[in-house]
């Protein structure tokens, strides 16, 4: 269980003070697939970095299984948009996973089975000897996912992992990710600015307002069966509703912000 | 897509970093055309040289190519030139290798430890303007005209270049790569040794190549001013005796030597460090 309570994040710089998050509250249960949705600059990556433990909240609390998040942990695996820089380019696909198992101190005897399992899970077992530079963008992202899953985290934090992929590959990655999620049942917090992507994937969407002083303006439960067809009437209605929310005029956002506890 | 409400660009998420991506030097494939053009380039240069020395200027001031080759043959046969070359090469290598080692070690620490960087950076920024040539007079007083002064001068030149490049490379190791390793369970030392330093290899190699070229440039004045052997000394001695043909032999030797050493360096990098030199494009 992940709990974010009234989190505030203030960045101090030479140019002045920037309040990125101002009272974000969110609870995510185990096994849930939650999308943080909002336009660029709404602080969703900031929030994700706090959840990962890379960054500390200025105010409020973030806890994982009732323990405060103070630093990065193997329980919460972050996946980055640019898989090319997240992976080790001097190691082959297989060696990248081996690196993870090594720093995780998993007994060597188990390595071959784990490597096989996760490379197969993302469909890269035929490409295990290739270096990241020899893989396509989608394959590289799948390798990052395989490497992250190989160390068995409790929770997957994904920062716009498919945003740089072409539409076709992205759709295929959605299928792959949902399939993996249904098989392993881990919690996923997925940051995106793409409404269609959020609707395709999530159990619940947390819509965030534009920064500064971002908050979660709305939590939307999606009870529709997967795979979800974007031309389906209910899905289309949901899409329009969220689009309307994101395009909301200033007044609405200000009103809601006033209601947030400080 | 909704952007900032009042048209301002929002800054919070604009901090994704784009690492520099130098091209991997490729020497394995030299096309036929390149060979042809290189040969032509050299031939043209020889023709112009011949013209300059016979038509435009005094052949004593600019000895024609054939005369230079005729001078070179006995120097090659007697082994005289090889003795000078090997003496200079050993000086360059000793200074270069020690300078690179210390430069990489210190650069890695400076790139990683902020306090150390802030403390030492001002001194480095000042000292690096002291070229090896500027250090010759004091080096002679400190170390005499023996080998040590030459080692020191080459070390001096190499150290700063490699140091600054290594620091930059370590500094620029992708944050995502370090954070991903942290999530996987790597401790700080593992992140430094297994992630950050290997990420800096292309920068280190670039620094070392520049430093190698600079070493070749610094060994000559060092030997001219403070040595009794080496290519620089050969230049100096020939100049005193007004042997322009021998000067040209020495100059050509420097050109060929620098070229060969750089090729060997690149070949070694290609063989040993190839996997660290490849860069993944931004998806």
pLDDT in tens, A219-235: 999 988 888 888 888 88
For residue A137, the distance in angstroms to the closest alpha carbon of chain B comes to 5
Tell me what the pLDDT averaged over chain A comes to: 89
> pLDDT tens, B233-263?
999 999 999 999 999 999 999 999 989 998 9
Residues of B with a Cβ under 8 Å from any A Cβ are 1-5, 9-14, 16, 19, 174, 176-177, 179-187, 190, 194-195, 198, 201, 275-276, 278-283
Distance from CA of B173 to the nearest CA of A (A): 9
Residues with Cβ < 8 Å from A206, sequence gap 6 or more? A26, A34, A35, A36, A37, A216, A218, A219
Closest C-alpha among A16, A92, A25, A85 to residue A61:
A25
CA B273 from chain centre, in angstroms, equals 17
What does the longest C-alpha to C-alpha distance in chain B come to?
A: 82
Which pLDDT score, from 0 to 100, does residue A89 have?
Answer: 93
Q: CA-to-CA distance for B107 and B113, rounded, in angstroms?
A: 10
Residue B254: which domain range? Answer: 91-274
User: Which residue in A80, A151, A161, A253 sits closest to B174, CA to CA?
Assistant: A80
On whether residue B200 sits in a domain, the answer given is yes
B18 domain-assigned: no
CA distance readout (Å), A63 to A24, A57, B89, B144: 13, 11, 62, 67
Is B176 within 8 Å of A82 when comparing Cβ atoms?
yes
A214 closest CA partner among B5, B15, B175: B5
- With H, G, I as helix, E, B as strand and everything else as coil, classify residue A245: helix
Residue B227: predicted pLDDT: 82
Residues A61 and A3: beta-carbon distance below 8 Å: yes
pLDDT of residue A200: 92
ipTM over 0.85: yes
Provide the chain A residues 125-184 that lie in CB contact (below 8 A) with chain B: 131-133, 137, 140-141, 144, 147-148, 151, 153, 164-165
- Copy the structure tokens of residue A84: 């090319």
How many angstroms separate the CA atoms of A148 and B179, rounded? 12
Non-local (6+) Cβ contacts of B40 within 8 A are none
Q: What is residue B4's predicted lDDT score, i.e. its pLDDT? A: 40
B91 close to B151: Cβ distance less than 8 angstroms: yes
In A, which residues are within 8 Å of B1 by CB distance? 39, 193
Residue B182 falls inside a structural domain:
yes
Q: Which DSSP category does B192 fall into?
A: I
A24 near A4, Cβ under 8 Å? yes
* Phi, then psi, of A221 in degrees rounded to 5: -85, 135
Helix, strand, coil proportions of chain A in percent (round to 5)?
40, 25, 35
Residue B256 domain flag? yes
Q: Which residue, among A36, A88, A118, A147, would best test binding to B if mutated, counting the most B CBs under 10 Å from its CB?
A: A88
* Cα dist from B283 to A39, A85, B24, whole Å: 22, 10, 18
Cα distances (Å, whole numbers) of residue B202 to A257, B109, B110 = 49, 17, 17
- Compute the count of residue pairs across chains A and B with CB atoms less than 8 Å apart: 136
Q: How far apart, in whole angstroms, are the C-alpha atoms of residue B102 and residue B166?
A: 11
For A35-50, the DSSP string reads: EEE--TTSSHHHHHHH
| Cα gap A194→A185, rounded to integer Å | 24
Cα separation values, A39 from A178, B175, B223, B228, B234, Å: 23, 23, 65, 72, 70
Does residue A258 carry a pLDDT above 90?
no
Q: Which of B10, B182, B201 sits opposite A210 (nearest CB)?
A: B10
Pairing of strands A155-159, A187-192: parallel
Element (H, E) at A68: strand A67-68
Which helix (H) or strand (E) segment holds residue B180: the answer is: helix B175-184
pLDDT recorded at residue A229? 85
Confirm whether B63 is domain-assigned.
Answer: no
Among chain B residues, the shortest Cα distance to A77 is held by B183
How many domains does one find in chain B?
1
CB-count exposure of residue B215 (10 Å: 0-12, 13-18, 19+)? buried
What is the Cα B10 distance to its own chain's centre?
Answer: 43
Confidence of residue A256 (pLDDT cuts 50, 70, 90): very low
Question: ∠ CA B237-B53-B81 to the nearest 5 degrees?
Answer: 35
Classify residue B245: in a domain, yes or no.
Answer: yes
Residues of chain A with pLDDT > 70, as a percent, come to 94
B212 found inside a domain: yes
Ranges of chain B with pLDDT below 70: 1-30, 279-283
**Greater model confidence, A258 or A46:** A46
pTM confidence score: 0.80
Q: What is the Cα–Cα distance from A86 to B175, expressed in whole angstroms?
A: 8
Element (H, E) at A158: strand A155-159
CA nearest to A48, candidates A6, A77, A84: A77
User: What was the pLDDT predicted at B9?
Assistant: 36
Which SS3 state, helix, strand or coil, does residue A188 take?
Answer: strand
pLDDT per position as a tens digit, A11-43: 998 888 888 899 899 999 999 999 999 888 788
Among 3.30.1490.20, 3.20.20.140, 3.30.70.890, 3.40.50.300, what is the CATH number of A1-75+187-262? 3.40.50.300
Query: CB–CB of A128/A116 below 8 Å?
Result: no
Cα B155 from Cα A96, distance rounded (Å)? 37
Helix (H) / strand (E) element for A12: namely strand A2-13
Give the domain CATH number at B240.
1.10.3720.10
What is the per-residue pLDDT across A133-154, written as a single tens digit (0 to 9) for each? 999 999 999 999 999 999 999 9
């Amino acid at each position: 269980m992940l709990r974010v309570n009234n989190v505030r994040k203030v960045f101090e710089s030479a140019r002045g003070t920037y309040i990125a998050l101002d009272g974000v509250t969110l609870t995510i249960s185990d096994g849930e697939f939650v999308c943080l949705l909002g336009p660029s600059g709404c602080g969703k990556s900031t929030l994700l970095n706090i959840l990962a433990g890379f960054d500390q909240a200025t105010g409020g609390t973030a806890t994982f299984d009732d323990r405060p998040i103070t630093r990065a942990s193997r329980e919460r695996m972050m996946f980055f948009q640019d898989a090319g820089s997240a992976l080790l380019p001097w190691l082959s696909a297989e060696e990248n996973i081996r690196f993870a198992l090594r720093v995780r101190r998993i007994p060597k005897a188990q390595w071959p089975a784990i490597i096989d399992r996760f490379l197969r899970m993302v469909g890269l077992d035929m490409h295990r000897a290739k270096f990241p530079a020899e893989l396509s963008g989608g394959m590289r992202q799948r390798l990052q996912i395989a490497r992250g899953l190989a160390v068995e985290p409790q929770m997957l934090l994904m920062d716009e992992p498919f945003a740089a992929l072409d539409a076709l590959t992205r759709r295929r990655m959605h299928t792959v990710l949902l399939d993996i999620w249904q098989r392993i049942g881990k919690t996923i917090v997925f940051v995106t600015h793409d409404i269609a992507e959020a609707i395709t994937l999530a159990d619940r969407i947390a819509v965030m307002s534009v920064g500064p002083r971002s908050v979660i303006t709305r939590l939307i439960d999606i009870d529709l069966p997967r795979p979800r067809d974007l031309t389906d009437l209910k899905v289309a209605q949901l899409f329009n509703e969220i689009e309307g929310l994101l395009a909301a005029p200033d007044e609405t956002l200000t009103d809601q912000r006033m209601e947030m506890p400080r | 897509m909704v952007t900032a409400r009042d048209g301002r660009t929002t800054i919070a998420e604009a901090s994704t970093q784009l690492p520099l991506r130098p091209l991997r030097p490729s020497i394995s494939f030299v096309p036929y055309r390149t060979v042809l053009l290189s040969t032509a380039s050299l031939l043209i240069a020889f023709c112009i040289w011949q013209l300059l020395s016979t038509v435009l200027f005094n052949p004593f001031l600019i000895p024609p190519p054939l005369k230079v080759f005729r001078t070179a043959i006995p120097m090659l046969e007697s082994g005289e030139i090889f003795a000078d070359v090997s003496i200079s090469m050993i000086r360059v290598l000793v200074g270069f290798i020690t300078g690179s080692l210390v430069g990489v070690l210190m650069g890695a620490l400076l790139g990683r430890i902020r306090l150390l960087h802030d403390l030492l950076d001002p001194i480095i920024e000042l000292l690096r303007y002291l070229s090896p040539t500027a250090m010759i007079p004091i080096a002679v007083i400190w170390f005499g005209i023996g080998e040590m002064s030459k080692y020191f001068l080459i070390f001096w030149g190499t150290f700063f270049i490699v140091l600054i490049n290594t620091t930059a490379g370590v500094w620029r190791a992708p944050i995502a790569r370090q954070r991903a390793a942290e999530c996987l369970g790597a401790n700080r030392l593992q992140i430094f040794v297994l992630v950050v330093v290997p990420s800096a290899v292309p920068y280190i190699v670039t620094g070392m190549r520049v430093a190698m070229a600079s070493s070749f440039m610094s060994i000559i004045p060092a030997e001219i001013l403070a040595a009794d052997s080496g290519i620089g000394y050969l230049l100096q001695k020939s100049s005193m005796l007004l042997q322009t043909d021998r000067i040209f032999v020495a100059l050509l030797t420097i050109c060929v030597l620098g070229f060969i050493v750089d090729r060997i360096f690149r070949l070694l990098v290609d063989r040993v460090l190839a996997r660290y030199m490849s860069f993944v494009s931004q998806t």
